Chains A and B, each alone.
Chain A
Amino acid sequence: MKKLIIGALLAFSTTISYAQLDFGTILEGNVADANRYAEGYLEPLAVGFGQGINGGWYSTAKTHKFLGLDIKVIASGAIVPSEKESFTFNNSDYGSIKLDDSSLSQAQLPTILGSKELGDRPLLEFSSNGGSISTSSLPGFNQIIKDNIGLNAVPSSMVQVGLGLFKNTDLKVRFIPKQTIDDNEFSVFGIGIMHDIKQWIPGVKLLPFHLSAFGGYTNIKSAVLLDASNNPDQVVELDTNSYVFQLVASKKLAFLTVFGGVGTTSYKSDLSVLGVFNTSNTDTPIVDPITLNYTGSNLRANLGIDIKLLFLNISAEYAVQEYDTLTATVGFSIR
Protein backbone atom coordinates (compact mmCIF):
# COMPACT_ATOMS: atom_id res chain seq x y z
CA MET A 1 0.00 0.00 0.00
CA LYS A 2 2.80 2.38 0.84
CA LYS A 3 4.36 1.66 -2.51
CA LEU A 4 1.11 2.38 -4.23
CA ILE A 5 0.57 5.69 -2.53
CA ILE A 6 4.11 6.86 -2.96
CA GLY A 7 4.13 5.72 -6.53
CA ALA A 8 0.89 7.45 -7.21
CA LEU A 9 2.13 10.69 -5.78
CA LEU A 10 5.15 10.54 -7.98
CA ALA A 11 3.35 9.30 -11.05
CA PHE A 12 5.42 10.25 -14.04
CA SER A 13 8.48 11.21 -12.09
CA THR A 14 9.18 8.94 -9.19
CA THR A 15 10.95 6.37 -11.24
CA ILE A 16 13.58 8.66 -12.59
CA SER A 17 16.12 8.10 -9.89
CA TYR A 18 15.20 4.44 -9.76
CA ALA A 19 16.03 3.96 -13.40
CA GLN A 20 18.63 6.67 -13.62
CA LEU A 21 16.65 8.14 -16.45
CA ASP A 22 17.05 11.58 -17.88
CA PHE A 23 13.79 13.17 -16.80
CA GLY A 24 14.58 16.28 -18.78
CA THR A 25 14.63 14.25 -21.95
CA ILE A 26 11.22 12.84 -21.19
CA LEU A 27 9.81 16.24 -20.54
CA GLU A 28 11.42 17.89 -23.50
CA GLY A 29 8.79 16.97 -26.01
CA ASN A 30 6.03 15.80 -23.77
CA VAL A 31 5.43 18.28 -20.97
CA ALA A 32 1.93 19.13 -22.11
CA ASP A 33 1.05 15.52 -22.89
CA ALA A 34 2.51 14.31 -19.61
CA ASN A 35 0.42 16.83 -17.70
CA ARG A 36 -2.75 15.91 -19.56
CA TYR A 37 -2.27 12.18 -19.20
CA ALA A 38 -1.34 12.46 -15.53
CA GLU A 39 -4.39 14.59 -14.86
CA GLY A 40 -6.72 11.81 -15.96
CA TYR A 41 -4.63 8.97 -14.66
CA LEU A 42 -4.20 10.35 -11.13
CA GLU A 43 -7.63 11.89 -10.63
CA PRO A 44 -9.08 9.16 -8.38
CA LEU A 45 -6.13 9.43 -6.04
CA ALA A 46 -6.27 13.20 -5.64
CA VAL A 47 -10.06 13.29 -5.35
CA GLY A 48 -10.10 10.26 -3.10
CA PHE A 49 -7.76 11.93 -0.65
CA GLY A 50 -9.83 15.08 -0.76
CA GLN A 51 -13.00 13.16 -0.01
CA GLY A 52 -11.63 10.57 2.38
CA ILE A 53 -10.00 12.86 4.87
CA ASN A 54 -13.37 14.40 5.71
CA GLY A 55 -14.47 11.33 7.60
CA GLY A 56 -14.36 10.66 11.30
CA TRP A 57 -14.71 14.18 12.60
CA TYR A 58 -17.45 13.16 15.01
CA SER A 59 -19.31 10.12 16.24
CA THR A 60 -21.99 11.98 18.17
CA ALA A 61 -23.71 15.34 17.98
CA LYS A 62 -23.41 15.70 21.73
CA THR A 63 -20.71 18.16 22.66
CA HIS A 64 -18.33 17.73 25.57
CA LYS A 65 -18.74 19.35 28.92
CA PHE A 66 -16.22 22.07 29.65
CA LEU A 67 -12.71 20.60 29.24
CA GLY A 68 -14.12 17.26 28.27
CA LEU A 69 -11.77 15.39 25.98
CA ASP A 70 -11.69 12.76 23.31
CA ILE A 71 -8.80 11.26 21.43
CA LYS A 72 -9.17 8.88 18.53
CA VAL A 73 -7.47 7.26 15.61
CA ILE A 74 -9.32 7.59 12.30
CA ALA A 75 -9.07 5.37 9.26
CA SER A 76 -11.02 6.18 6.10
CA GLY A 77 -11.40 4.76 2.66
CA ALA A 78 -12.90 6.79 -0.18
CA ILE A 79 -14.48 4.24 -2.48
CA VAL A 80 -13.56 4.81 -6.10
CA PRO A 81 -16.68 4.85 -8.31
CA SER A 82 -16.50 2.31 -11.10
CA GLU A 83 -16.65 5.06 -13.73
CA LYS A 84 -13.50 6.57 -12.22
CA GLU A 85 -11.52 3.42 -12.85
CA SER A 86 -10.93 4.69 -16.37
CA PHE A 87 -10.65 8.00 -18.16
CA THR A 88 -11.28 9.04 -21.74
CA PHE A 89 -8.24 9.46 -23.93
CA ASN A 90 -8.96 11.64 -26.98
CA ASN A 91 -6.35 11.66 -29.74
CA SER A 92 -7.16 15.29 -30.45
CA ASP A 93 -6.11 16.33 -26.94
CA TYR A 94 -2.52 15.16 -27.35
CA GLY A 95 0.42 16.17 -29.47
CA SER A 96 2.88 13.30 -29.48
CA ILE A 97 0.74 10.51 -28.04
CA LYS A 98 -1.97 8.78 -30.05
CA LEU A 99 -3.89 5.55 -29.90
CA ASP A 100 -1.98 2.85 -31.74
CA ASP A 101 -5.20 1.67 -33.33
CA SER A 102 -5.60 4.30 -36.02
CA SER A 103 -9.27 3.45 -36.47
CA LEU A 104 -10.04 4.91 -33.05
CA SER A 105 -10.18 8.56 -32.11
CA GLN A 106 -10.75 7.92 -28.41
CA ALA A 107 -10.61 5.10 -25.89
CA GLN A 108 -11.02 4.42 -22.20
CA LEU A 109 -7.69 3.99 -20.38
CA PRO A 110 -7.25 2.81 -16.80
CA THR A 111 -6.72 5.35 -14.07
CA ILE A 112 -4.28 4.55 -11.30
CA LEU A 113 -7.15 2.80 -9.53
CA GLY A 114 -8.33 0.94 -12.60
CA SER A 115 -7.44 -2.34 -14.22
CA LYS A 116 -3.98 -3.70 -14.87
CA GLU A 117 -5.13 -6.31 -17.40
CA LEU A 118 -3.57 -5.99 -20.82
CA GLY A 119 -6.98 -6.21 -22.47
CA ASP A 120 -8.09 -3.07 -20.67
CA ARG A 121 -5.02 -1.08 -21.64
CA PRO A 122 -5.05 0.04 -25.28
CA LEU A 123 -1.71 0.58 -26.96
CA LEU A 124 -0.49 4.15 -27.21
CA GLU A 125 1.86 5.33 -29.90
CA PHE A 126 4.50 7.85 -28.86
CA SER A 127 5.87 9.84 -31.78
CA SER A 128 8.83 12.12 -32.07
CA ASN A 129 11.21 13.20 -34.79
CA GLY A 130 9.55 11.00 -37.36
CA GLY A 131 9.82 7.82 -35.31
CA SER A 132 7.38 6.08 -33.05
CA ILE A 133 7.01 3.33 -30.52
CA SER A 134 3.84 1.80 -29.12
CA THR A 135 3.24 0.48 -25.65
CA SER A 136 0.37 -0.44 -23.39
CA SER A 137 -1.19 2.41 -21.48
CA LEU A 138 -0.34 2.68 -17.79
CA PRO A 139 -1.84 -0.01 -15.59
CA GLY A 140 -4.23 0.55 -12.74
CA PHE A 141 -3.79 -0.97 -9.34
CA ASN A 142 -7.32 -1.64 -8.16
CA GLN A 143 -6.62 -5.33 -7.64
CA ILE A 144 -3.71 -4.62 -5.30
CA ILE A 145 -5.91 -2.26 -3.31
CA LYS A 146 -8.70 -4.82 -3.15
CA ASP A 147 -6.29 -7.52 -2.07
CA ASN A 148 -5.01 -5.30 0.74
CA ILE A 149 -8.14 -3.64 2.11
CA GLY A 150 -10.99 -5.51 0.49
CA LEU A 151 -12.39 -2.74 -1.71
CA ASN A 152 -11.15 -0.26 -4.27
CA ALA A 153 -10.70 2.81 -2.11
CA VAL A 154 -8.21 5.56 -1.37
CA PRO A 155 -7.14 5.10 2.25
CA SER A 156 -6.15 7.76 4.74
CA SER A 157 -5.61 7.88 8.48
CA MET A 158 -4.95 10.41 11.18
CA VAL A 159 -5.17 11.19 14.89
CA GLN A 160 -7.69 13.66 16.32
CA VAL A 161 -8.21 15.37 19.66
CA GLY A 162 -11.49 16.98 20.71
CA LEU A 163 -11.81 19.43 23.59
CA GLY A 164 -14.94 20.85 25.21
CA LEU A 165 -15.04 24.63 25.42
CA PHE A 166 -17.78 27.07 26.39
CA LYS A 167 -21.45 27.05 25.47
CA ASN A 168 -21.50 23.45 24.32
CA THR A 169 -18.79 23.98 21.75
CA ASP A 170 -16.07 21.48 20.89
CA LEU A 171 -12.76 22.25 19.31
CA LYS A 172 -11.33 19.39 17.26
CA VAL A 173 -7.74 19.29 16.09
CA ARG A 174 -6.04 16.84 13.79
CA PHE A 175 -2.29 16.99 13.79
CA ILE A 176 0.61 14.90 12.66
CA PRO A 177 3.87 16.85 12.70
CA LYS A 178 6.11 16.57 9.69
CA GLN A 179 7.35 13.01 9.41
CA THR A 180 10.41 12.20 7.34
CA ILE A 181 10.84 8.65 6.13
CA ASP A 182 13.68 8.03 3.73
CA ASP A 183 13.22 10.85 1.20
CA ASN A 184 9.52 11.37 1.92
CA GLU A 185 7.83 13.97 4.10
CA PHE A 186 4.29 13.87 5.39
CA SER A 187 2.20 16.06 7.68
CA VAL A 188 -1.45 16.57 8.64
CA PHE A 189 -3.24 19.50 10.17
CA GLY A 190 -6.94 19.98 10.64
CA ILE A 191 -9.25 22.02 12.80
CA GLY A 192 -12.97 21.76 13.38
CA ILE A 193 -15.67 23.31 15.50
CA MET A 194 -18.87 21.63 16.62
CA HIS A 195 -21.53 23.67 18.36
CA ASP A 196 -24.77 22.53 19.94
CA ILE A 197 -27.45 24.50 18.13
CA LYS A 198 -30.35 22.73 19.75
CA GLN A 199 -29.91 24.86 22.86
CA TRP A 200 -30.83 27.95 20.84
CA ILE A 201 -34.04 26.59 19.30
CA PRO A 202 -37.06 26.96 21.56
CA GLY A 203 -39.04 23.76 21.88
CA VAL A 204 -36.52 21.66 20.07
CA LYS A 205 -34.06 21.72 22.94
CA LEU A 206 -36.40 19.52 24.94
CA LEU A 207 -36.50 16.78 22.31
CA PRO A 208 -34.59 13.56 23.11
CA PHE A 209 -31.73 13.81 20.65
CA HIS A 210 -28.71 16.01 20.06
CA LEU A 211 -28.28 18.46 17.20
CA SER A 212 -25.14 20.40 16.34
CA ALA A 213 -23.53 22.34 13.55
CA PHE A 214 -20.09 21.30 12.46
CA GLY A 215 -17.38 22.81 10.27
CA GLY A 216 -13.96 21.34 9.64
CA TYR A 217 -10.82 21.87 7.61
CA THR A 218 -8.09 19.30 6.94
CA ASN A 219 -4.79 19.72 5.15
CA ILE A 220 -2.42 16.92 4.17
CA LYS A 221 0.98 17.74 2.77
CA SER A 222 3.46 15.27 1.37
CA ALA A 223 6.68 15.65 -0.49
CA VAL A 224 9.00 13.15 -2.09
CA LEU A 225 12.53 13.96 -3.16
CA LEU A 226 13.35 12.42 -6.51
CA ASP A 227 17.10 12.47 -6.19
CA ALA A 228 18.06 13.61 -2.74
CA SER A 229 21.79 13.22 -3.17
CA ASN A 230 22.33 14.78 -6.59
CA ASN A 231 19.31 17.02 -7.19
CA PRO A 232 17.77 17.90 -3.84
CA ASP A 233 15.60 20.57 -5.47
CA GLN A 234 13.65 18.00 -7.48
CA VAL A 235 10.56 17.13 -5.50
CA VAL A 236 7.01 15.92 -5.98
CA GLU A 237 4.47 17.59 -3.71
CA LEU A 238 0.86 16.74 -2.96
CA ASP A 239 -1.09 19.32 -1.03
CA THR A 240 -4.72 18.47 -0.26
CA ASN A 241 -7.17 20.81 1.47
CA SER A 242 -10.61 19.63 2.40
CA TYR A 243 -13.59 21.36 3.99
CA VAL A 244 -16.83 20.06 5.42
CA PHE A 245 -19.90 21.84 6.85
CA GLN A 246 -22.76 19.81 8.26
CA LEU A 247 -25.74 19.62 10.52
CA VAL A 248 -25.21 16.66 12.82
CA ALA A 249 -27.76 14.73 14.85
CA SER A 250 -27.37 11.79 17.19
CA LYS A 251 -29.39 9.63 19.52
CA LYS A 252 -27.98 7.51 22.31
CA LEU A 253 -29.57 4.12 22.88
CA ALA A 254 -27.95 2.41 25.90
CA PHE A 255 -24.31 1.82 24.96
CA LEU A 256 -24.99 2.58 21.30
CA THR A 257 -25.12 5.99 19.65
CA VAL A 258 -26.58 6.46 16.19
CA PHE A 259 -25.39 9.58 14.43
CA GLY A 260 -25.74 11.23 11.07
CA GLY A 261 -25.14 14.44 9.24
CA VAL A 262 -26.05 16.37 6.10
CA GLY A 263 -24.14 19.21 4.51
CA THR A 264 -21.50 20.02 1.97
CA THR A 265 -17.88 19.13 1.41
CA SER A 266 -15.23 20.53 -0.90
CA TYR A 267 -11.62 19.79 -1.69
CA LYS A 268 -8.62 21.15 -3.52
CA SER A 269 -5.69 18.89 -4.31
CA ASP A 270 -2.52 20.19 -5.94
CA LEU A 271 0.09 17.81 -7.28
CA SER A 272 3.33 19.31 -8.53
CA VAL A 273 6.68 18.16 -9.79
CA LEU A 274 9.07 20.93 -8.82
CA GLY A 275 12.70 21.61 -9.56
CA VAL A 276 15.06 22.17 -12.44
CA PHE A 277 15.36 19.36 -14.97
CA ASN A 278 18.09 19.53 -17.58
CA THR A 279 17.52 18.12 -21.01
CA SER A 280 19.98 16.11 -23.02
CA ASN A 281 19.14 17.62 -26.39
CA THR A 282 19.03 21.27 -25.55
CA ASP A 283 20.66 23.58 -23.06
CA THR A 284 17.33 24.86 -21.83
CA PRO A 285 16.40 23.47 -18.42
CA ILE A 286 12.77 22.79 -17.65
CA VAL A 287 11.57 24.28 -14.38
CA ASP A 288 8.66 22.96 -12.32
CA PRO A 289 7.33 20.82 -15.17
CA ILE A 290 4.11 19.32 -13.85
CA THR A 291 1.31 21.07 -12.01
CA LEU A 292 -2.07 19.45 -11.54
CA ASN A 293 -5.04 20.89 -9.68
CA TYR A 294 -8.17 19.05 -8.69
CA THR A 295 -11.12 20.80 -7.09
CA GLY A 296 -14.67 19.82 -6.34
CA SER A 297 -17.60 20.20 -4.01
CA ASN A 298 -20.69 18.16 -3.36
CA LEU A 299 -23.39 17.32 -0.86
CA ARG A 300 -22.42 14.97 1.92
CA ALA A 301 -24.73 12.80 4.01
CA ASN A 302 -23.45 10.27 6.46
CA LEU A 303 -24.81 7.77 8.92
CA GLY A 304 -22.94 5.87 11.59
CA ILE A 305 -22.93 4.12 14.92
CA ASP A 306 -20.71 4.49 17.93
CA ILE A 307 -20.32 1.74 20.49
CA LYS A 308 -18.97 2.24 23.98
CA LEU A 309 -16.96 -0.74 25.18
CA LEU A 310 -15.51 -0.09 28.62
CA PHE A 311 -13.20 2.86 28.02
CA LEU A 312 -13.14 2.55 24.28
CA ASN A 313 -15.36 4.23 21.76
CA ILE A 314 -15.53 2.40 18.46
CA SER A 315 -17.41 3.92 15.57
CA ALA A 316 -18.15 3.27 11.94
CA GLU A 317 -19.82 5.53 9.42
CA TYR A 318 -20.73 5.58 5.76
CA ALA A 319 -20.83 8.86 3.88
CA VAL A 320 -22.62 9.39 0.60
CA GLN A 321 -20.74 11.91 -1.50
CA GLU A 322 -18.78 12.11 -4.77
CA TYR A 323 -16.63 9.23 -3.55
CA ASP A 324 -18.63 7.41 -0.88
CA THR A 325 -16.45 6.98 2.16
CA LEU A 326 -16.21 4.38 4.89
CA THR A 327 -14.66 5.52 8.14
CA ALA A 328 -13.79 3.70 11.34
CA THR A 329 -12.49 5.26 14.55
CA VAL A 330 -11.15 3.95 17.82
CA GLY A 331 -10.55 6.14 20.85
CA PHE A 332 -11.79 7.22 24.21
CA SER A 333 -13.84 10.07 25.53
CA ILE A 334 -14.00 11.82 28.90
CA ARG A 335 -16.87 14.08 29.99
Chain B
Amino acid sequence: MKKINTLKSLLLLITVLTFSMCEDSEKIQFVVKDSFDNIEPIEVKGLKGQTSYTLSTTADISELLDNASSFVKAEVESIAISLVDYSGNSIEGNIKISSGSLTFLDQNVSISETPSALTIPSGVINILSILKTGVFPVTIEGVVNPAIADNDFELRLTFVVKAVVE
Protein backbone atom coordinates (compact mmCIF):
# COMPACT_ATOMS: atom_id res chain seq x y z
CA MET B 1 0.00 0.00 0.00
CA LYS B 2 1.30 3.38 -0.93
CA LYS B 3 2.05 5.88 1.75
CA ILE B 4 -1.10 7.88 1.82
CA ASN B 5 -0.89 9.62 5.13
CA THR B 6 -3.99 11.66 4.60
CA LEU B 7 -6.14 8.74 3.71
CA LYS B 8 -4.78 6.53 6.41
CA SER B 9 -5.35 9.23 8.97
CA LEU B 10 -8.86 9.80 7.74
CA LEU B 11 -9.57 6.12 7.99
CA LEU B 12 -8.15 6.07 11.47
CA LEU B 13 -10.18 9.11 12.35
CA ILE B 14 -13.40 7.59 11.17
CA THR B 15 -12.76 4.39 13.00
CA VAL B 16 -11.71 5.98 16.24
CA LEU B 17 -14.53 8.48 16.13
CA THR B 18 -16.96 5.67 15.95
CA PHE B 19 -15.46 3.71 18.76
CA SER B 20 -15.16 6.74 20.99
CA MET B 21 -18.83 7.48 20.56
CA CYS B 22 -20.13 4.08 21.43
CA GLU B 23 -21.04 2.65 24.71
CA ASP B 24 -18.71 -0.09 25.77
CA SER B 25 -21.19 -2.79 24.87
CA GLU B 26 -21.69 -1.45 21.38
CA LYS B 27 -19.55 -2.64 18.52
CA ILE B 28 -19.51 -0.79 15.26
CA GLN B 29 -18.29 -2.54 12.17
CA PHE B 30 -16.53 -1.05 9.18
CA VAL B 31 -15.84 -2.43 5.78
CA VAL B 32 -12.37 -1.43 4.65
CA LYS B 33 -10.97 -2.19 1.22
CA ASP B 34 -7.43 -1.50 0.18
CA SER B 35 -4.65 -2.77 -2.04
CA PHE B 36 -1.44 -3.99 -0.47
CA ASP B 37 1.78 -3.80 -2.38
CA ASN B 38 3.79 -3.43 0.79
CA ILE B 39 4.75 -7.05 0.42
CA GLU B 40 8.47 -7.16 -0.08
CA PRO B 41 9.25 -7.84 -3.75
CA ILE B 42 10.34 -11.41 -4.06
CA GLU B 43 13.91 -11.68 -5.25
CA VAL B 44 14.22 -14.41 -7.84
CA LYS B 45 17.79 -15.56 -8.39
CA GLY B 46 19.41 -18.49 -10.09
CA LEU B 47 16.35 -19.66 -11.99
CA LYS B 48 17.54 -18.88 -15.52
CA GLY B 49 16.69 -21.80 -17.76
CA GLN B 50 14.30 -23.35 -15.23
CA THR B 51 10.72 -24.25 -16.18
CA SER B 52 9.31 -24.41 -12.65
CA TYR B 53 9.76 -22.53 -9.41
CA THR B 54 8.40 -22.20 -5.87
CA LEU B 55 8.64 -18.94 -3.96
CA SER B 56 7.29 -17.79 -0.64
CA THR B 57 6.60 -14.49 1.13
CA THR B 58 4.21 -12.96 3.64
CA ALA B 59 1.45 -10.36 3.28
CA ASP B 60 0.79 -7.87 6.06
CA ILE B 61 -2.71 -6.35 6.08
CA SER B 62 -2.63 -5.24 9.71
CA GLU B 63 -3.00 -1.62 8.59
CA LEU B 64 -6.64 -2.38 7.87
CA LEU B 65 -7.19 -3.06 11.54
CA ASP B 66 -5.75 0.18 12.84
CA ASN B 67 -7.76 1.14 15.92
CA ALA B 68 -10.34 -1.56 15.55
CA SER B 69 -9.92 -4.48 17.87
CA SER B 70 -10.38 -7.38 15.50
CA PHE B 71 -11.12 -8.65 12.04
CA VAL B 72 -14.61 -10.02 11.54
CA LYS B 73 -13.99 -10.98 7.94
CA ALA B 74 -11.10 -10.60 5.54
CA GLU B 75 -11.37 -11.51 1.89
CA VAL B 76 -8.95 -11.34 -1.00
CA GLU B 77 -10.72 -9.88 -4.00
CA SER B 78 -7.91 -9.85 -6.53
CA ILE B 79 -4.17 -10.19 -6.92
CA ALA B 80 -1.98 -8.23 -9.29
CA ILE B 81 1.35 -9.67 -10.28
CA SER B 82 4.23 -8.07 -12.16
CA LEU B 83 7.94 -8.42 -12.90
CA VAL B 84 10.68 -5.97 -11.95
CA ASP B 85 14.00 -5.79 -13.82
CA TYR B 86 13.26 -8.86 -15.91
CA SER B 87 15.44 -9.01 -19.00
CA GLY B 88 12.85 -10.85 -21.09
CA ASN B 89 9.44 -9.64 -22.14
CA SER B 90 7.28 -11.87 -20.01
CA ILE B 91 6.93 -15.17 -18.24
CA GLU B 92 4.26 -17.42 -19.68
CA GLY B 93 2.72 -20.37 -17.95
CA ASN B 94 0.71 -21.59 -15.03
CA ILE B 95 0.90 -19.90 -11.67
CA LYS B 96 -0.60 -21.03 -8.39
CA ILE B 97 -0.83 -18.58 -5.50
CA SER B 98 -1.87 -20.05 -2.20
CA SER B 99 -1.76 -19.64 1.54
CA GLY B 100 -1.82 -22.81 3.54
CA SER B 101 -4.74 -24.83 2.30
CA LEU B 102 -6.32 -21.85 0.55
CA THR B 103 -5.66 -21.46 -3.15
CA PHE B 104 -6.21 -17.95 -4.38
CA LEU B 105 -5.67 -18.75 -8.03
CA ASP B 106 -4.28 -21.50 -10.22
CA GLN B 107 -4.28 -20.51 -13.87
CA ASN B 108 -2.27 -19.68 -16.95
CA VAL B 109 -1.03 -16.12 -17.01
CA SER B 110 1.40 -13.90 -18.80
CA ILE B 111 3.50 -12.00 -16.29
CA SER B 112 5.22 -8.82 -17.43
CA GLU B 113 6.38 -5.55 -15.95
CA THR B 114 2.85 -4.19 -16.38
CA PRO B 115 0.81 -5.31 -13.38
CA SER B 116 -2.24 -7.30 -14.32
CA ALA B 117 -5.03 -7.77 -11.76
CA LEU B 118 -6.25 -11.33 -11.52
CA THR B 119 -9.68 -11.71 -10.02
CA ILE B 120 -9.94 -14.63 -7.70
CA PRO B 121 -11.84 -17.20 -9.76
CA SER B 122 -14.21 -18.32 -7.07
CA GLY B 123 -15.03 -14.78 -6.08
CA VAL B 124 -13.46 -13.73 -2.84
CA ILE B 125 -11.55 -15.92 -0.46
CA ASN B 126 -11.91 -15.57 3.27
CA ILE B 127 -8.46 -15.45 4.82
CA LEU B 128 -9.63 -14.91 8.35
CA SER B 129 -8.61 -18.40 9.39
CA ILE B 130 -5.02 -17.95 8.27
CA LEU B 131 -4.50 -14.41 9.59
CA LYS B 132 -2.09 -14.11 12.47
CA THR B 133 -1.76 -10.56 13.78
CA GLY B 134 -2.71 -9.30 10.38
CA VAL B 135 -0.12 -11.35 8.50
CA PHE B 136 -0.60 -14.40 6.29
CA PRO B 137 1.92 -16.52 4.35
CA VAL B 138 1.88 -16.64 0.57
CA THR B 139 3.30 -19.38 -1.65
CA ILE B 140 3.80 -18.95 -5.39
CA GLU B 141 4.34 -22.00 -7.58
CA GLY B 142 4.89 -21.74 -11.30
CA VAL B 143 5.35 -23.92 -14.33
CA VAL B 144 6.55 -21.89 -17.28
CA ASN B 145 7.15 -22.34 -20.98
CA PRO B 146 9.49 -21.09 -22.36
CA ALA B 147 12.01 -21.27 -19.54
CA ILE B 148 12.85 -18.32 -17.33
CA ALA B 149 15.19 -15.96 -19.20
CA ASP B 150 16.77 -14.04 -16.31
CA ASN B 151 18.91 -15.02 -13.37
CA ASP B 152 18.17 -12.01 -11.16
CA PHE B 153 14.82 -10.22 -11.08
CA GLU B 154 11.91 -9.54 -8.78
CA LEU B 155 8.30 -10.68 -8.62
CA ARG B 156 5.84 -8.17 -7.15
CA LEU B 157 2.40 -9.06 -5.78
CA THR B 158 -0.41 -6.65 -4.90
CA PHE B 159 -3.39 -7.97 -2.97
CA VAL B 160 -6.74 -6.21 -2.89
CA VAL B 161 -8.28 -7.11 0.46
CA LYS B 162 -11.75 -6.28 1.68
CA ALA B 163 -12.16 -6.65 5.42
CA VAL B 164 -14.81 -6.11 8.04
CA VAL B 165 -13.31 -4.80 11.29
CA GLU B 166 -14.86 -3.92 14.61
Contact = CB atoms under 8 A, between A and B. Distances in A.
Contacts of B6: 25-26, 28-30, 96, 126, 128
A303 interface: no
B9 interface: yes
Interface string B4-30: 111111111111111011110010111
- If over half of A's interface residues share one DSSP class (helix, strand or loop), that class is named, otherwise mixed; here it is mixed
B132 interface: no
Given A15-B16, A138-B14, A144 B26 contact: yes
Contacts of B21: 3-4, 7-8, 141
Interface residues of A, number: 43
Interface magnitude class on chain B: 20 to 34
A131 B158 CA distance: 13
B16 A18 contact: yes
A123 B13 contact: no
Interface string A8-42: 10111011101101110110111000000000000
Contacts of B26: 144
A139 interface: yes
Q: Lowest 9 A-B CB distances belong to which pairs?
A: A7-B21, A15-B16, A131-B2, A134-B33, A19-B16, A131-B4, A136-B31, A126-B7, A26-B9
Interface of B: 1-2, 4-18, 20-23, 26, 28-34, 67, 164
12 contacts: A3-B22, A3-B23, A8-B21, A14-B17, A14-B20, A26-B9, A118-B30, A128-B4, A130-B2, A133-B33, A136-B29, A141-B21
Interface of A: 3-4, 7-8, 10-12, 14-16, 18-19, 21-23, 25-26, 28-30, 96, 100, 116, 118, 121, 123, 126-136, 138-139, 141, 144, 280-281
